[in-house]
Amino acid sequence: MNEWLKEPRVMGILNITPDSFHAASRVETIDHAIQHAARLIEEGVDILDLGGQSTRPGANQISSEEENQRVLPVLEAIRQRFPSIKISIDTYYGEVAAACAKLGVDIINDVSNGCIDSGIHAVAAETKIPYVLMHNSGDSTNLTRLISYSNVVDDVYAFFENELARLMKLGISEIILDLGFGFAKTTEQNFELLNQLDKFKALGFPLLVGVSRKKMIQTTLNVTADDSLNGTTVLNTIALMKGANILRVHDAREAQQAITLVRQLALSSK
């Protein structure tokens, strides 16, 4: 995975939910999911990130059984229709991750770092599937609870140092870091982390950035999620220039265009 991530990649969001914050990313049938996946792939997505429940503030938490009912048929259909595309499962349930692993999922994307179901770490360790470690200071009942930081950049960096050591002791070695933009952070803290994203390269693991259409853009520009594409592209471009390896987005074409332009800029300086 690390070799593959030497070039920036685009992770396209596919929400198998009725309540994710950006309505255009929601799918509720297998046929709709296939159509949405096909559009993302045509636009240049490298990874499809399938999620069976929303992690937006105030979203209702569903059971692992219900999440499996939503996700597994879609995953199976997409894997059959698009056998070469990489697929990530966005879940915090070990049971869901294990079932998806049997269907050939390529990445486990856990926004909770095991705080809801520690069994997900055992699945990642056993299967050796790359694991996304996201910073989050929420708890099992509120993944977006804001807390105070002594220094948000230093505190998030220390969190990663501690958690990387712990996960590697558990046998999880292929890890992708996600600073958790929008989770347990103010708008100002989100921008401070983005501004110093390059500092986190020193940890030696790929960086995933997920700012697509989020509140940090909406609040700053006084726009809705539907009107946040331009702001998303601007922040994704900044993230790439500061070392992002994966852009998690709703809009694949614009993210790939940002990658192309940043790559050309880098070539012009050689």
As a whole number of angstroms, the distance between CA 137 and CA 111 comes to: 11
As a whole number of angstroms, the distance between CA 159 and CA 180 comes to: 12
Strand partners, 90: 51, 109
Catalytic residues: 214, 248
Q: What are the structure tokens assigned to 133, written together?
A: 């470690």
User: How many Cβ atoms are within 10 Å of 63's Cβ, its own excluded?
Assistant: 12
What count of Cα atoms within 13 Å lies in the side-chain half-sphere of residue 125?
Answer: 13
Strand partners, 11: 47, 248
Q: What are the structure tokens assigned to 2, written together?
A: 């690390």
As a whole number of angstroms, the distance between CA 44 and CA 115 comes to: 33
Torsion of CA 96, 205, 173, 56, to 10 degrees: -20
* SS3 annotation, 16-62: CCCCCCCHHHECCCHHHHHHHHHHHHHCCCCEEEEECCCCCCCCCCC
Nearest to 124 by CA among 73, 176, 76, 68: 176
What count of Cα atoms within 13 Å lies in the side-chain half-sphere of residue 202?
Answer: 9
Helix (H) / strand (E) element for 246: namely: strand 246-249
